[in-house]
Homo-oligomer: A and B are copies of this chain.
Amino acid sequence: MIDAALLGTGGMMPLPDRFLTSLLLRYNGGLILIDCGECTQVTLKSLGWGIKNINTILITHYHGDHVAGLPGILLAIGNSGRKEELEIAGPEGLAEVYGGLRVIFPELPFPVKLRELKELSTEKTVSFKSGDLKINALKLDHRIICCGYSIELERKGKFDTEKAAANNVPMKIWGKLQKYDTFEYDGKIYTSDMVLGKPRKGLKLTYCTDTRPTAEMCDFAKHSDLFICEGMYGENEKLEKATEKKHMIFSEAAEIAKKAEVEELWLTHFSPALKDPKSFLENAVRIFPNTLIGETRKTKTLLFKE
C-alpha cells in the first residue's frame, strides 16, 4: 500500500490559512516528497509521518512557490539525524538551482544525489526508480519547464501451481520465484514468469500542477488510483486568465480525469484569490463525479484491489 498526504493546497504564495501545494508519499517506511515551497516543513511536522526517511524529493519546476522550502527541508532532515543519501530529481536546471540555494546550507550531514531530467528536452517522459516504486516524469506546458510525476507500484501475477508444474519448476523454489525475478537452483536458472500468472493491476498516483491541459496528460494519468491535479481557478469564466497564466480551471482538470479514467481526482494549487474552492466543486463534479477538493493533510491509502 501507498499512503499519500497533501501538505498544502495553495499556489503562488503561502497564506496564513493555506500552505503551498506539496505531496508526501509513504511506502514501506520510506517517504517521497513532491515539491517543497516555503513552509512545507511546517505541515510536514504537523502531519507527523517523520522527515528523516525522505529518500527522494521530486521538484516539478523552479518557481519559488514549489522549491523555496528546499533549504529548510534539507536542514531539517539533517537535524533529524539522516546519514543516508537522498535523491533530488527535477527538470533541467536542477544543478543550477540547487547550487544557488546551497549558499544557505553549505553543509549537510548526508549526501545528496541530483537527478536532472535532461531527457525531457527531447523525450516526453522519463522513468526511474525510488526503491520499489517506479517514478515517471512528463513534460507539461507551463511558463517555464515543468513536469508532472506519476508513481507506480507494480504487482506481480498470482502464483499458478499448474504453470509451475508444467514448467518443471522444483517445488522447493516456488516461494523464491514469488519473491525474486530469477532464481538459480541446481545449476539451472528459473524465472518468476514460470510460476506466476500475468501481472495484476498495481497502484498508481499521478500529480500534475502548473500546466495547461495537454493531450499527453491523459495517457500519463491513465487508470490512476488517485490523480492530484491543479485547479488554479474554480470559475469557468476564468478560462482566459488560466490560459494566459498557463494554469487550469476546475473543469479542465475534471476533463482530464474523465479521459484518463482515474478512480479519484483531488483538486489543488488554488489561486490566493480563490477563497472557497468548494463553492466551485460542481464545475468539476458534473464532468468527473469522483472529484474532491484538496485540503491540507488530506490523506488516502492506496490499496491493491483483491
Query: A161–B42 Cα gap in the complex (Å)?
Result: 60
Provide the main secondary structure of the chain A interface. helix
Q: Give every chain B residue within 8 A of A67 (Cβ-Cβ).
A: 104
Q: Is the CB of A96 within 8 A of B103?
A: yes
Tell me, yes or no, whether A105 is within 8 Å of chain B by CB: yes
Known contacts A103-B100, A104-B100, A104-B101: A45-B64 contact under CB 8 Å = no
Tell me, yes or no, whether A202 is within 8 Å of chain B by CB: no
Q: 1/0 per residue A36-57: CB within 8 Å of B?
A: 0011011101100000000000
Q: Is the CB of B46 within 8 A of A16?
A: yes
Interface members, chain A 92-114 (any B CB < 8 Å): 96-97, 99-105
Tell me, yes or no, whether A72 is within 8 Å of chain B by CB: yes
Known contacts A63-B104, A64-B105, A68-B68: A15-B38 contact under CB 8 Å = no
By beta carbon, the residue of chain B nearest A12 is: B79
Tell me, yes or no, whether A277 is within 8 Å of chain B by CB: no
Tell me, yes or no, whether A76 is within 8 Å of chain B by CB: yes
Tell me, yes or no, whether A270 is within 8 Å of chain B by CB: no
Nearest-Cβ distance from residue A150 to partner chain B, whole angstroms: 25
Q: Is the CB of B103 within 8 A of A62?
A: yes
Q: Give every chain B residue within 8 A of A65 (Cβ-Cβ).
A: 72
Q: Is the CB of A71 within 8 A of B75?
A: no
Q: 1/0 per residue A51-92: CB within 8 Å of B?
A: 000000000001111011101100110010000000000000
Nearest-Cβ distance from residue A74 to partner chain B, whole angstroms: 9
Q: Would you list the 7 A-B pairs with minimal beta carbon distance, nearest first? A: A100-B103, A100-B100, A38-B72, A64-B104, A16-B46, A39-B39, A97-B103
18 contacts between A and B (CB under 8 A): A12-B79, A13-B41, A13-B72, A13-B79, A14-B39, A14-B41, A14-B42, A16-B43, A16-B46, A38-B72, A64-B71, A64-B104, A67-B104, A68-B69, A68-B71, A68-B72, A96-B103, A99-B103
Q: 15 more A-B contacts (CB under 8 A) besides A13-B72, A68-B71, A100-B102?
A: A13-B76, A13-B79, A15-B42, A16-B45, A38-B39, A38-B41, A39-B39, A39-B42, A62-B103, A64-B104, A65-B72, A67-B104, A68-B72, A97-B104, A101-B104
